[in-house]
Amino acid sequence: MKHIKYRLMLILFILLINFSCSQLEKSNQNTLPEDQTNLELIKQLHQDSVSYVDRLIELSSDSIEFYAAGPQDQLPWAGIIHGPQNLRDNFKIVLDIMDYEIFDAKEFIAQGKQVVAVISAKATARTTGKTVESDIVRIYTLKNGKIVKARTYYDTAAYVDAISLN
């Protein structure tokens, strides 16, 4: 039942973002320079999944706040992380636990200081061999060409299931 609840919440969240973004696209046919600059920075960030973490750190402000959804007692990378070094350490935890086969941004939506990336991901848990396929919605907030905040939403129940030894 928990898995269904989390999946329904993720689906509703993605639908809400898609609806909101379609409304923004209709109301803002002319892209502002700030939108375009921030959009290009995030598109460049997602060009190559192999060097994604290094580029994310380079684009991060010294005071970046990074949030990853999920229960912290079951997903060691979940919660709020502050600063580039802690962010790098957090991604090391993720990559020690999960082996990503696919991490491709398929959609980008920009408005002002925010850029949303919708990422298709497929990963295998190293300890269990279970595979997860999930869209990841990452909302970046930028200031002066640097990422100051990022929020990440995904199918947390699927990740919990994949890394669970039960």
Alpha carbon distance 46, 52 (integer Å):
6
Q: Is residue 128 predicted with pLDDT exceeding 60?
A: yes
Q: What topology does CATH give the domain 2-163?
A: Nuclear Transport Factor 2; Chain: A, (3.10.450)
Compute the Cα dihedral for 32, 36, 42, 46 and give only its sign. Answer: positive
81: Cα within 13 Å, side-chain hemisphere: 25
Residue-wise pLDDT for 31-75, tens only, equals 456 678 999 999 999 998 889 999 999 999 999 999 999 999 999
pLDDT surpasses 90 at 29 = no
Helix (DSSP H) and strand (DSSP E) numbers for the chain = 5, 6
Instruction: Report pLDDT for 50.
Output: 83
Asked whether the predicted pLDDT for residue 161 surpasses 90, the reply is: yes
Lowest-confidence region among 6-20, 77-91, 132-146: 6-20
User: What is the pLDDT at residue 80?
Assistant: 98
Instruction: State percent of the chain over pLDDT 90.
Output: 74
